[in-house]
Amino acid sequence: MSFLEHLEELRWHIVRVAIAIFVIAITVFGLKDFVFENIIFAPKKASFPTYNFFCSLSEKTCFQPPDLEIIPRQLGEQFFTHLKVSFWLGLVVAFPYLLWEIWKFIKPGLYQNEKKAARGFVLICSLLFMIGVVFGYYVITPFGLTFLGNYSVGADTINSTSLESYINYLTMFTIPTGFVFELPVLVYFLSRIGMVTPTLMRKYRKHAFVLILILAAVITPPDILTQFLIGVPVFFLYEISIYISKRVHKKYHSND
3-state secondary structure of 119: coil
Residues 6+ apart with CB under 8 A from 237: 180, 181, 183, 184
Q: Which of 134, 194, 141 minimizes the C-alpha distance to 170?
A: 141
Backbone φ, ψ for residue 30 (5° rounding):
-75, -15
Residue pLDDT, tens place only, 171-230: 988 888 888 888 888 888 888 777 888 888 888 888 888 887 777 666 555 556 556 767
Residue pLDDT, tens place only, 78-121: 999 999 999 999 999 999 999 999 888 888 877 777 677 677 88
pLDDT of residue 224: 61
CA distance 147 to 141: 10
CA distance 142 to 230: 12
Q: Which of 118, 240, 97 minimizes the C-alpha distance to 181?
A: 240
pLDDT over threshold 70, residue 256: no
CB 17 within 8 A of CB 98: yes
pLDDT of residue 254: 63
CA distance 205 to 199: 10
CA distance 238 to 208: 8
Residue pLDDT, tens place only, 121-180: 889 999 999 999 999 899 888 988 888 888 777 777 788 889 999 999 899 888 888 888
Average pLDDT over residues 37-46: 94
